[in-house]
Structure 1
Amino acid sequence: MCRIDDTSMAGGRYGIEFGGIDEADALRSVAHQYGLRLTFLAQGGQFLSNVDVEIVGPSGASVFRTRTLGPYLYVALPPGRYQVAAYAAGTKQVRVVVVFEPSPREFHVMAGTADYYDSHRRLRAEQRAASERLFHAELARAQVNGAWVAAEGEPVAAVMERSRSADLTIVGQTDLDEPEAYVANHFVESVVLGAGGPVLVMPYTGHFESVGERVLIGWNGSREAARAVHDAIPFIARAAHVTVAAVSSSFTPAPSPASCSDLAAMLARHGANTVDIARFDRGASESTGDALLSYAAENGFDLLVMGAYGHYRLQETVLGGATRSVLLTMTLPVLMSH
């Protein structure tokens, strides 16, 4: 049997195990650093060790695995909903927990956590200051003007507010294996669908010497694709080469040759140097998003332009298949518009 003792937020990324019940002082001294605290008990109440534990994150990916040395396991996780599975003595127990960070106004009433919150806030302030120094250093290196804005409050709402008056919003791809990179649940997806303008998503891996020299457009004739192309014209007009990829999905056919030709002509009027049209067939088991990414990699493109498909339902964000797969497995910068 697995008992969940606490689910408040803790800011690190590792778990810590305790091998014996005589380590009460050690437990108490570090408990405030770990939001998820597990105790493993047999049906009769005896402590258990050698328990295989797996924690699955909000995205459905495994974020933590271990075999315990004793009955206690503390894990630090970013806010979100998690599934904890414990395997011991041929049995399996599964619990769903929610890790959260209370607001400062309410946090002080939780015993033993006020000191943690103060230290965590100082750590975040130091990290923010380091990021600001790097930002200004890069501005100086590139010899461009810029302003640093430290927004407070809910991250998605803060970015949305700024994006509505921005020519371009740039965000990083979500790294599911790096808890410290967590911003908010469905952060990138929410910004892409709600920004009101183009969003450039940069992969969390890879180094890109150029962005927009060779542009691939995922074109299916839809409103979202048209919006993305028009938003990308500043990139397209400067590109050395542009390819319009006529794509289909399981639910929509590929656009007509006339639609692709009309698009190429419009881009030429806006100054695109070289525009060609590519039609390719997806494999039976290959998604539209995967096909676009494979084609981009094989032909050396450094920017993918595509429409973002999705909508909001109560308490969740529902993405189209191509949008979802590209955001998960992107290998080059992607400019999206909704």
Structure 2
Amino acid sequence: MTDIIACIDGSRSAPAVCDYAAWASQQLDAPLVLLHVLDRALYPQSDDLSGNIGMDSREQLLEELARLDEKRARLAREQGELTLRAACQRVVDAGYAAPQAMHRHGNLVETLMEQEENIRLLVIGKRGEDSTRPSQLIGSQLENAIRSMRRPVLVTPTEFRIPRSVLLAFDGSATADKGIDMICASPLLRGLPIHLVMVAAQSDRHRQQLDAAAERLRGAGYETHTALLSGEVEDTLLGYQQEHQLDLLAMGAYGHSRIREFFIGSTTTTMLRRCTTPLLMLR
């Protein structure tokens, strides 16, 4: 578990992904790997198209389709290589150490799972190259990547801004407690003031949970502010973040089953769609 892996494509998010990944690499003093995955569903390697046309189709048509498919895949590979080269140059021009480039052909989530044991932090844009519809607020593979990974994931907006402050959402759960441990042990957010916010009923139990978590953060050297607030979780967190102009939001990801989320919705998915700052998902 050593590398910062950044998912690079041709989307508007790619420059910010480079910048946030380079920042994280410096904070963690960890190697940076820029990853581009050529989707095999869009660019298959096989030239066997016989199942896609009728039995009585002409051999000339089959050969032409195969040539076109091969040319399309070759151009996509070349574009991916150019994208990676430009991303590497962006990181170097910003004054960071030269990253490693990794080009793969396959499925993004499967590729990330293959690399998971080497991943310390995954950096990925909110909307990828295939997210073309204005109504598509998050990328088609983003949720699957976050659900599948057992590593922290930093989801980036389209513009880079060095984080100067953090909102850490806390709900007293085992996932939230693990997130506190991760932040205390990691240098990623070191030196940044943390606003620890719990959205729950006003009670002695919730206040005690919040204060205990804050003390752990303070013991690790973090300037920590606390708030116990009432209201709808997503609206309250985003409202607090905007009011205090906090640059990064951190929270546990997908703490409930898919069945429960089907009936009541997912706070994680809602925050992914609505948050306009980088969002650190703690797993």
Q: How does 1:1-338 map to 2 (within 5 A)?
A: 101=42, 103-105=44-46, 107-109=48-50, 110-111=52-53, 113-141=65-93, 142-174=95-127, 178=132, 186-203=140-157, 205=158, 207-211=159-163, 213-233=164-184, 234-239=187-192, 241-248=193-200, 256-272=206-222, 274-282=223-231, 287-309=232-254, 321-338=266-283
Alpha carbons of structure 1 residues 219 and 154: separation in structure 2 relative to 1, 3 Å? same
Q: 1:3-52, CA deviations, whole angstroms, 9 ceiling, x for partnerless residues?
A: xxxxxxxxxxxxxxxxxxxxxxxxxxxxxxxxxxxxxxxxxxxxxxxxxx
Q: 1:236-288, CA deviations, whole angstroms, 9 ceiling, x for partnerless residues?
A: 3221x211001239xxx99611111111111112111x211012222xxxx42
- Count of residues in correspondence between the two structures: 224
Separation in structure 2 between the aligned mates of residue 102 and residue 130 of structure 1, nearest angstrom: 17
Alpha carbons of structure 1 residues 231 and 106: separation in structure 2 relative to 1, 3 Å? farther
In our comparison, the structure showing a higher alpha carbon Rg is: 1
Given residue 248 of structure 1, which amino acid in structure 2 is its aligned partner? Answer: A
The answer for unaligned runs of 5 or more in structure 2 is: 1-38, 54-60
SS at match of 2:104: coil
Do 1:169 and 1:199's aligned partners in 2 also have CA atoms closer than 8 Å?
A: yes
Given residue 271 of structure 1, which amino acid in structure 2 is its aligned partner? Answer: G
Given residue 173 of structure 1, which amino acid in structure 2 is its aligned partner? Answer: K
Partner of 2:26: none
SS at match of 1:262: helix
Separation in structure 2 between the aligned mates of residue 177 and residue 139 of structure 1, nearest angstrom: 24
Separation in structure 2 between the aligned mates of residue 170 and residue 104 of structure 1, nearest angstrom: 28
Structure with higher helix content: 2
Alpha carbons of structure 1 residues 133 and 103: separation in structure 2 relative to 1, 3 Å? closer
Do 1:308 and 1:337's aligned partners in 2 also have CA atoms closer than 8 Å?
A: yes
SS at match of 2:105: coil
Partner of 2:31: none
- Identity among equivalent pairs (%): 24
Alpha carbons of structure 1 residues 227 and 210: separation in structure 2 relative to 1, 3 Å? same
Q: So what's the TM-score if we normalise by structure 2? A: 0.68
Cα offset, 1:116, TM superposition = 3.6
SS at match of 1:105: coil
Partner of 1:21: none
Partner of 2:20: none
Cα offset, 1:309, TM superposition = 1.5
The answer for unaligned runs of 5 or more in structure 1 is: 1-78, 80-99
Taking only aligned residues, the RMSD between alpha carbons, in angstroms, comes to 3.3
Separation in structure 1 between the aligned mates of residue 79 and residue 191 of structure 2, nearest angstrom: 36
Separation in structure 2 between the aligned mates of residue 170 and residue 139 of structure 1, nearest angstrom: 14
Structure possessing the higher relative contact order (Cα contacts under 8 Å, 6 or more residues apart): 2
Structure with higher strand content: 1
Alpha carbons of structure 1 residues 117 and 255: separation in structure 2 relative to 1, 3 Å? farther
